[in-house]
């Protein structure tokens, strides 16, 4: 089954404790991206990757890191989480880079709470 898998789905952590949210897709997609969803703001892009070893900042990259060492994986790293990073996070992938077609396929979301 074609899918984007995120883990963990739910996490409660404390300020400053490093955490990683994993994301893996099995569709051989070139493009991968991370979003955070907050009420009234829709989805805002954190980072994206056009292909292996190619990553770039989205609209709200502060406090986050990513890496793309393999095509299928795109982990999101919070080095020192803060309460304002409490949010619902989505990983997404798309089959084409360089074209306007190609919808995003989303993971199920990871709800993160930082105390």
| Token pair in block for residue 77 | 């790293």
52 binds other proteins (CB under 8 A): no
Interstrand relation of 42-51 and 54-57 (parallel, antiparallel or unpaired): antiparallel
Report in angstroms how near the CB of residue 74 gets to other proteins at its nearest. 14
Q: Is 46 exposed, middle or buried (0-12, 13-18, 19+ CB in 10 A)?
A: buried
40 binds other proteins (CB under 8 A): yes
Q: Of 21, 43, 78, 112, which lies in the binding site for other proteins, with binding defined by CB under 8 A? A: 43
Tell me whether residue 69 or residue 100 sits nearer to other proteins (CB atom): 100
16: left (phi over 0), alpha (psi -120 to 50) or beta: left
Which residues of this protein are in contact with other proteins, per CB under 8 A? 31, 33, 35, 40-45, 48, 50, 56, 88, 90, 92, 94, 96-106, 108-109
């Amino acid at each position: 089954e074609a899918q984007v898998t995120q883990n963990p789905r739910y996490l409660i952590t404390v300020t400053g404790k490093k955490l990683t949210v994993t994301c893996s897709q099995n569709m051989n997609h070139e493009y991968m991206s991370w979003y955070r969803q907050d009420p009234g703001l829709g989805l805002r892009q954190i980072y994206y990757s056009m292909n292996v070893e190619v990553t770039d900042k989205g609209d709200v990259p502060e406090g986050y890191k990513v890496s793309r060492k393999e095509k299928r994986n795109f982990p999101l790293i919070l080095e020192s989480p803060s309460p304002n990073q409490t949010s619902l996070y989505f990983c997404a992938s798309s089959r084409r880079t360089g074209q306007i077609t190609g919808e995003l396929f989303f993971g199920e979301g990871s709800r993160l709470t930082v105390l």
